[in-house]
Structure formats: structure tokens, C-alpha cells
Amino acid sequence: MAQLSVPTVDYTQYSNRQLVAVPLALLAVALLVIGGWYLLTGAPANLGLEFVGGSEIRIDDPGDNAAQQIETAFSAQPDSVRQIAADDTYILTFSEGAVDTPDGGNQLSVLEQQAEAAGFSIQASSSVSPSFGANTQTIALGGVLVAFLGMSVLVFVMFRSIAPSVAVIASAFSDVVLPLAMMNLLGINLSLGTVAALLMLIGYSVDSDILLNNSILRESGDFYESTSRAMRTGVTMTLTSIAAMAVMTVAAYLFGIQIMTAIGIVLVVGLLADLMNTYLLNVSLLRWYVNRGVNA
Amino acid sequence: MIEKLKSNWRLTLLTVILLVSLFMIFSPTMAPQTNVGGENATTGDRLTNLQYGLDLAGGTRIRAPLIGMTAENVVIGNESPTNVAAAVANELPNSDTTDVTVRRGTINGPTVEAVDPNVSEAQFGEALGGAGYSYETIRDGLTQETRDEAINVIEGKVNQAGLSGASVQQVTDGTGFFILIEVPGQDRSDVIDLIEQRGNVRIDIYHDNNGDGEYVTERAVLTQDDFASISNARQPDDRSPNPRVPVSIRQENSIAETFQSSVVETGVAQPGGAVCRYEESPQNTDSCLQLVVDGDVINSFGMNGDLANSMRTGDWARSPSFVLTTTSFEEAQEIAINLRAGALPAPLAIDQGTTSFVSPTQGENFRTDSLIIGILAILTVSGVVFARYREPQVAAPMVLTAFSEVLILLGFAAYLGYPLDLSVIASFIAVLGTGVDDLVIIADGVMAEGDVSSNRVFSSRFKKAFWVIGVAAATTVIAMSPLAVLSLGDLRGFAIFTILGVLVGVFVTRPAYGDILRNLLTKR
């Protein structure tokens, strides 16, 4: 059987500055990407159908010449066409207003009629109105902020000192920001599933940080001993989660289950970011905190 | 034996809860009650008591707001609501009394609601002023009473149309209210057709009785409430060439008599009956009865000689039955449903909400797919855990414990009758992930620094490990709670089951794993 052993890092070789440099640099790049996205597109990420409105329709594989058949069937060009090999279907998305609707009719209803007229059978369809989408945006943003604040307060109450709490919160912040920037770069749309995953990440990612803080601040042993003990446990559990999520992401992508793909991919990237943030950023902040009397 | 159960009470508790969960999932005695739609709800399967949501069973979900605004604390004195509504409707352009609702005794005092989408807030304010009523505020949205009424009407329509297992409820996103309609196994367009109309049915009379060549419409000689009974829609047969809905009119308050005299006065019941040619030559026709739904004329028809005679003699009002003819059977069915279920108190704005449809075959695919994904996730987690610990007696209980969390969640879902959908399945996998995380913390925490010789050492280490788990669980609960409270689309299930899973984990399964480890380690 394959053997999984958690590597030990010799932290004594690196100064706090060196350790902090990598995660902070990546965080800065991520913030630049998100900021740039906001300046260029007016939104911090590629907003998906659920946030800007639009229609989506999943049809059975039309057989030969699918691309051409799809093009002739609909009166508007789809924004995206994705083939789901696992069950021979195609998922098409249309932005809101892409199709002329007679006297205020529903865009998706028109698209469904066109699909049926072309002989496609409709496997699934959904529509979101732009006003509902805009509302969802506000709520999602509010939800993430509330969750983050709640987490911060809880961490402060639990540790009752500033530096360790800040270490956990900074690391959680970076865990959320890095996957967001990564999604922009990979061209993945922000959907409701992503928001759920970002919230989940706030909860998921802090446990390795809390474990580390707890081990260093509350248990016996010197700093490096405690760190490597926490790391053994923390890396194992994060890797386990990453493995589970990676499998879910790949399988859900192949089956064309979008909500699971979205949740999975954000958690994978976020947990990878968490490995880095916990064992570079958080460790060095704690080392500074523990040794602050020595160097002063 | 008892002693052993007692000292391992956490493990005992887990076993009991697991058995209860399995009972909930599989026992036929716990089979789900039928839903709003009545008889055979098709959303479950036969092997288990689990209910499947639309993602996994197929069907249509529509979430849409009701259109309208409400004036609060309107000073209406002792006037009857009907009079107030008529006065306000009179001041509004193109509005009927059906577009204005007046209520006393809501939490915001007497209210007046206007539901015509073409009326602006300013126009509504002016109309109230014009009719002589002062008010405190006008806000967007309707009263809870009106929303409840709308829900009842939609439930009625869905039931009348024979769609089983449907559910209609109110949800909020924190800024406004939406009506959420879920109909299993039904096409999106069928459901939209059924509910998008308000379904205000009335009878007008189109006539030129004073003979000056100018036709006028006498509106609303019969409205929704005037019908006493409504038969099923009939196909055309040898008794009548048209599809039709036989109805009878109420006799109390001389409703039937009033209608009878209107019909006679306007010349519909002229001697020998009337032949309506409204469609072909509206300027040259006998008087017509018009069937109007939501302001659109659906059909115009005359009256045969026999009926006209019995109306003229006044016999008809003693047994006032009557036939509404339509141009198609579908129309007749719609009319019958609308008359029975009543009219929506406000229009449902489907294009301001969301709709989604999953076909039954796709739902079945999703069901298999998500089962495969779940099994793959469990296998992956087991693989990693076995590779890390290499001791089956540590790793195997870990995997089993994490899996039992998922089983308990399924038990909850079966007990609550909560419909499983893709986001709930995703939460099971997330819970599996956090569950194993915490078990790793316990295992490492307890096994660190050599042997666990005594129960005392074990307990102190277990407590330390548990502190971390408790804080981590509290964070997850806090982080997910906004989603559980707000109705952010379909993610509520994800949040609710993640929170439930974390709680079950912290209070039941993870302590039980501690018991298992203690038995394994202190024996050595």
C-alpha cells in the first residue's frame, strides 16, 4: 500500500520574513487580479447566470453535426455550449435578452419552443431574471461578510489575544481570496455553488490554523516540536479533504453536475491555499509572537 | 455487560442513533405522508423513505414575486372595504376593483393594495388622495394576508389540475417575498401556463340595445363569486358543437335575478334568442355574452331561443344553470380551474424570478451520478486514511464513523421528509470531509507522545483534541448560518445539512470514535 508521510520542514533555516514573503506575495497578486477585474468588468469575478440573469437549457445529444444543428435551431447564438459525455447531453447558456420575446414573454419559454421545434428533447432548463440575479449578488456578498465577521469574532473570543487571532483571520482571508482570483484566471464563473464553497472554506480552513495555534500556545513542548506535531495532523486532514473534493470535482464535471463542480473546485484551490497559509503565514506570525520577548 | 455499555456510553449512543436512522430510512412504517398535491406523491422511491427533490426526481420549480404595492394605515373610517376599493379603483387608470384590495386589521392598520403593474407609486398615491383617503406610507410589496391568499389560490389551481405532490410556499431573500412553487414530474411550460394568469373570470355583455349603432360593453354582469357550482369541462358532443363548462349561478342576494334582468334588458335574451357575430362583424351583431379572463375576451356567444324564453318569463332564476362555451377544450379546462380555485389576488411576475426544470430521466441520471460521486468520495477518503495510518484498527473505525455521520444525516432527511437534491448531496460529501478531519485530530491528539497507558491520560488528551474540534465546528456553523437563514436559491439545503452534520459530528459520532480509540489503545 502506498505510504503517506507528512514531510517535516526545518523552520529554523528560514527567517519570518522569508516565510511570510510567499503567501503575502500571492495574496497581493490575487488582490491585484480581483481589483483589476473589478476595474475592467465592474465586478470582482466572472459572474455566472445566477447573478446576472439568463437562460440555460440541457438537451439530448442531437447526433451528427451537433454544433451546426444547435446553431440553426435557436434564433440566438448561445453564450456557451458544453458537451456532457457521461449522459450524451449538451448544456447551452444564453444571456438575458439574447432572444427576441414577443410581448414580454419568457425568454426560456421561447428557447424551449425552438428546441422542441428542432426535435431536441429538453433534459433540464433554468432561467434567472436579471433583477433576481442582482438581488442574489447583494445577499451573497452580505452572507460572505457576515460569515467572515462571525468567524473573526469567534476566533478572538477563543484565543483572547491579538496576534494569534490575526494570524488565523489573515490566513482565512487569504484562503477565500486566492481561489476567487484563481477562478478569474481560469475563466470559471462565480455561481451560487461557489458562494457556498467560499463560506464552507471559511469554516473548513480555520481548523488547521486553530490546531496549530492550540498546539503552540496551549500545549507543552518547544515551538518547533509543537509545530511539527500540529503539521503532521493538519496536513493529513487537509490532504484528505483535498482528495475527497478533487474526486467530487472531477466526477461532477464529467456528469455535468454544475453545483458540485463549483463547490469542489473552490474547496480544492482554497484548501491548497490553506496549506500554504497555515504553514508559512500563520507559523511565522506565531513564531514572532512567541519569541517577541527574546529579540526585543 | 451493562457496565461496559455504560463506560462506552458515547459508542452506545452512536449505535442507538444509527439504528434509529436506519429505521427512519428503511422502515415502511415511517413512509412519508402525502404532500399538498394529495394521493400518490411520486417524489420518493420504494426501497427507502427518502424524498427526492426536483434535481433528483424531475419536475419544475418556479420562484416568483407577487406584483403590487401597499398603502399602510389608510384612514378609511367605517366605510366598507368594498366601497373603498371601488372608489380607489375608479381613480386609477384602467383598474378594476379586482386590482385593489382593502383590508382592515392588518399589523399596519387598514391597508389598500394596488396590484396593476402599470400603476406607479405616484399614481397610486394620487388615486388615494383623489378618493379622499389619507395614508401613512406606500411601500413595495403586499400584505401577508394577500400572500397567504395567493398561496391558497395557487395550491387550489395545482390541485384542480391534478398535479400530485406539488408544494407552494412563501420564501424570503431578506429584501422581499417570493412564492416558491414546486411540481414534481411536470414540464416547465405546463406549470407556467397554469399559474401565470391571475385567472379573473367575468362575464360582460356586448350590446347595442338603444339601436344607435354604437356598441357598448356592460362589464362584469357576473364575476367569480357569483358562481354557485362549476362542472367539469366538456368536450364537444351532439348536444353542443362547442367545448363548454356547465355552471350554476348563486340565488342568494338575487344574484341570478339581477343577471337575468341584465340579459333581458340588453337584448341577449331577445325573443327567439340571439346569434353572436362578434368575431366576424362586431358592428353588426345581436347582443353577445362575453367570457373575459384577465381582461381578455376569450369567447363571445349568443343564447338559444329556449333559454332566452325562460329568462324572459323569469323561470330561469329559479334554477339558474348556464353554460359557458369556449373555442377549445383546453380553454374550457382553464376556465373551470380558474373558477374553482379563484383568482390570484395579485399577478405573479415569473420574469422577475427564477424557473428551473429537470426531466424525470435526467433526475434519474443525477441520482445515479451523485451516488457514484458519494461512493468515490468515501473510497478516496478511506484510501488516504489507510495510507496515512497503516493500522486498520485506527483507520477502519475512522472511515466507518465518518460514514455513519452521512447515514445519520440521511436518517434526518427521511424523518423530516426533506427532499434530497444535488446541493444536499454536496453537503454530505463536505460533512464527510470535515468529519474525517476531526477524527484525524482526535487520533493524532490521543496517540501522540507514545503509549496511552491509562484512562486518565486518554481523557486529558481527548479533551485537548476536542477543544480544537469544538472551535472548528463552531466556526463552520457560524460561517454556514447566513446561507441557512437566507433563501439563496437552492443552497439552503447545503447549509442546513452541513450544519446538522457538524452538530451530529461534534455531539455524537466524534466522541464515539474517542471511545473506540480508548478501547483499542488502553488495552495494549
A286 touches A162 (CB < 8 A): no
Least CB-CB distance to B366: which of A127, A143, A257?
A257
Whether residue B173 and residue A136 make contact (CB cut-off 8 A), yes or no, is: yes
Domain B2-43+359-523 CATH (choose: 1.20.1640.10, 1.10.10.60, 3.40.50.410, 1.10.1200.10):
1.20.1640.10
- Provide, as residue numbers in chain B, all residues whose Cβ is less than 8 Å from the Cβ of A211: 441, 468, 472
Q: Which secondary structure element, helix H or strand E, spans residue A81, and what is its range?
A: strand A80-84
- Torsion-angle region of B249 (φ positive above 0: left; ψ -120 to 50: alpha; else: beta): beta
Residue A4 lies in a domain: no
The whole-angstrom distance between A206's CA and the closest CA on chain B is 7
- Minimal CA–CA distance to B419: which of B367, B375, B359, B354? B367
Cα–Cα distance, A49 to A55 (Å, whole number): 7
Residue tagged 452534520 (cell numbers): B501
Q: State which residue of chain B sits closest to A108, comparing Cα positions.
A: B355
* Minimal CA separation from A156 to chain B, in Å: 11
Domain ranges of chain B: 2-43+359-523, 69-141, 147-198+350-355, 201-341
Of the candidates A128, A150, A245, the beta carbon closest to that of B478 is on A150
Radius of gyration of chain A (CA): 23
CB B328 within 8 A of CB B298: no
Q: Which of B61, B187, B373 to mutate to test the interface with A (most CBs of A within 10 A)?
A: B373
Which class is B201-341 in CATH?
A: alpha beta
Long-range CB contacts (within 8 A, 24+) of A29-35: A29/A181, A30/A174, A30/A177, A30/A178, A30/A180, A30/A181, A30/A182, A31/A177, A31/A181, A33/A181, A33/A184, A33/A185, A34/A177, A34/A180, A34/A181, A34/A184
Mean predicted confidence (pLDDT) in A44-53:
88
Residues A254 and A193 in one domain: yes
Three-state SS letters, B145-203: HHHHHHHHHHHHHHHHCCCCCCEEEEEECCCCEEEEEEEECCCHHHHHHHHHCCCCEEE
Residue of A nearest to B467 (CA): A214
Using the predicted structure, report yes or no on whether residue A1 has a pLDDT greater than 60. Answer: no
Closest residue to A1, CB basis, from B354, B361, B386: B386
- Binned at pLDDT 50, 70 and 90, residue A13 comes out as confident
Q: How far is B423 from chain A (nearest CA, A)?
A: 7
CATH number of A105's domain: 3.30.70.980
Tell me the residue range of the domain where A265 lies: 11-48+132-295
Could you tell me how many residues make up chain A?
296
B378 DSSP assignment: H
The pLDDT tens digits of the residues spanning A233-281 come to 889 888 888 998 999 999 999 988 888 888 888 999 999 999 999 999 9
Nearest to B475 among A144, A203, A244 (CB): A203
My answer on whether A41 and A83 are in the same domain is no
Q: Which chain A residues are within 8 Å of B490, Cβ to Cβ?
A: 192, 259
* In a shared domain, residues A120 and A138: no
Fold held by B69-141: Alpha-Beta Plaits (3.30.70)
> Angle, nearest 10°, between helix axes B422-447 and B360-389?
10
A36 and A173, same domain (yes or no): yes
Q: Sign (positive/negative) of CA torsion B275, B276, B279, B280?
A: positive
Same structural domain for residues A240 and A151? Answer: yes
Look at residues A73, A97, A128 and tell me which one is the last residue of a structural domain: A128
Nearest CB to A143; choose among B425, B444, B486: B486
Closest A-chain CA to B54: A124
Angle B385-B391-B394 from CA coordinates, rounded to 5°: 70
Residues B144 and B113: their CA atoms lie apart, in Å, by 11
Residue A19 has pLDDT above 70, yes or no: yes
- Contact (Cβ atoms closer than 8 angstroms) between residue B259 and residue B226: yes
Tell me the pLDDT of chain B (524 aa) as tens digits. Answer: 677 777 788 888 899 999 999 988 888 776 655 444 333 444 445 678 888 888 888 999 999 999 999 999 999 888 888 888 888 988 888 777 788 889 987 788 899 999 888 889 999 999 999 888 999 999 999 999 999 999 999 998 888 888 888 889 888 877 788 999 999 888 898 898 888 888 888 899 998 877 777 888 888 888 888 888 888 888 888 878 889 899 999 988 888 999 999 999 888 888 888 888 888 888 888 889 998 888 888 888 888 888 899 999 988 988 898 888 888 888 888 888 888 888 888 989 888 888 999 999 999 989 999 999 999 999 999 999 999 888 888 889 998 998 899 999 999 999 888 888 888 988 898 888 888 888 888 888 887 766 666 777 778 888 888 888 888 899 889 988 888 887 666 788 888 999 999 999 999 998 899 888 888 877 65
Count residue pairs from A and B with Cβ separation < 8 A.
250
Same domain, A138 and A118: no
Neighbours of A41 (CB within 10 A): 12
At residue B35, the pLDDT reads 45
CA angle, residues B319, B322, B324, in degrees to nearest 5: 165
Q: Is the ipTM of this complex over 0.90?
A: no
User: To the nearest whole angstrom, how far is the Cα of B462 from the nearest Cα of chain A?
Assistant: 13
Chain B interface, mutation test: which of A199, A219, A220, most B Cβ atoms within 10 Å? A199
**Distance from the B167 Cα atom to the nearest Cα atom in chain A, whole angstroms:** 19
CA of B441, closest CA in chain A: separation in Å?
6
**Residue A2 domain flag:** no
Q: Does A129 sit within 8 Å of B353, measured CB to CB?
A: yes
Which of A93, A112, A128 is the C-terminal boundary of a domain? A128
Residue of B nearest to A56 (CA): B356
Rounded Cα gap, residues B283 and B288, in angstroms: 12
The structural domain count of chain A equals 2
Contact in structure between B291 and B299 (CB atoms under 8 Å): yes
Which residue, A89, A107, A128, sits at the end of a domain? Answer: A128
pLDDT at residue B450, as a whole number: 61
Residue A6 within a domain? no
pLDDT band at residue A84 using 50, 70 and 90 as cut-offs: confident
Work out the number of other CB atoms within 10 angstroms of the CB of residue B466: 19
**Beta carbons of A180 and A44 less than 8 angstroms apart:** yes
pLDDT tens digit string along A108-166?
888 888 888 888 889 999 998 888 888 888 888 888 899 899 999 999 998 888 888 98
B189-215 in b/e form (b: 16+ CB < 10 A) is: bebbebbbbbbbbbbbbbbbeeeeeeb
Q: Is residue A26, in this structure, part of any structural domain at all?
A: yes
What pLDDT, on the 0 to 100 scale, is given for residue B34?
47
CB contact under 8 A, A89 and B362: yes
- The SS3 call for residue B125 is helix
Per the CB < 8 Å rule, is A124 touching B467? no
Q: What does pTM read for this prediction?
A: 0.81
Q: Identify the sign of the CA torsion B230, B235, B237, B241.
A: positive
Q: A188-232 pLDDT, tens per residue?
A: 888 888 888 888 888 877 888 888 888 888 777 788 888 888 888
pLDDT above 90 covers a percentage of chain A that reads: 22
